[in-house]
Amino acid sequence: MAENQLEQIAAGLVERATRAGASAADVVVRDADEFSTVLRLGKIESLKEAASKALGLRVLVGTRSATSFSSDFSAASLARLVERTLEMAKVTSEDPASGLAPAELLGRYEGDLELFSADVAELTTDQRIQFARRAEEAALAADPRIRNSEGAWFEASWGTKAYANSLGFVGSYRTSYCAVSVAPIAEGGGMQRDYWY
């Protein structure tokens, strides 16, 4: 989903919650793609690729609050989410420290946060697998006593996160990350395991 779509969902849900009786509310919405693979001794043990979306709604009724989560963005589901979250908030204990940050502390950065790299999303499945394979091969080649491996992993995620609250703040940003790790096993004087990340 585009950033503006996620912002609209977040802002719309905040508005719905305050119309339904919340004294304050905030929402985080996330849409992401995720990839992970595990190799052991050069053979693929697992390979996962998934698209995910989720949102979290926090409502406050005075100093009482409740939080709910959903991956169903349909109008009917969001209506139930607001209703149930408000019901929960009304029966929780009061917490005078609960609430939104003061409006004057909410800033806005118009520049690039530099949290997103298109390179991560553009890697092919084969290229992602090769990162794990190269890490394991390098570990096994580092010393003749390293003859085994607990495996090598590559994972990546890229997507967009939006936030809105009842003080009028709405914002979003794109983010991505990737990681590679390996856990080789050396023999000699007992088995020794270590890892590189």
pLDDT digits (tens, 9 = 90+) for 135-186: 999 999 999 999 899 999 999 999 999 999 999 999 999 999 999 999 999 9
Provide φ and ψ at 75, rounded to 5°: -60, -45
Whether the per-residue pLDDT at 188 is higher than 90: the answer is no
Residues 60-89 have pLDDT tens digits of: 999 999 999 999 999 999 999 999 999 999
Percentage, residues of the chain above pLDDT 70: 100
Q: pLDDT of 21-43, one tens digit each?
A: 999 999 999 999 999 999 999 99
pLDDT of residue 185: 93
- The pTM score is 0.82
In terms of Cα–Cα distance, which of 84, 77, 71 is closest to 20?
84
Q: How confident is residue 46, by pLDDT bands cut at 50, 70 and 90? A: very high
How far apart are alpha carbons 60 and 24 in whole angstroms?
A: 5
Q: Which residues pair with 153 in a beta bridge?
A: 38, 181
Sheet holding 192-193, edge to edge: 64-70, 43-61, 24-40, 146-165, 170-186, 192-193
| Domains of the chain in sequence order | 3-193 (3.30.2290.10)
pLDDT over 90 (residue 103): no
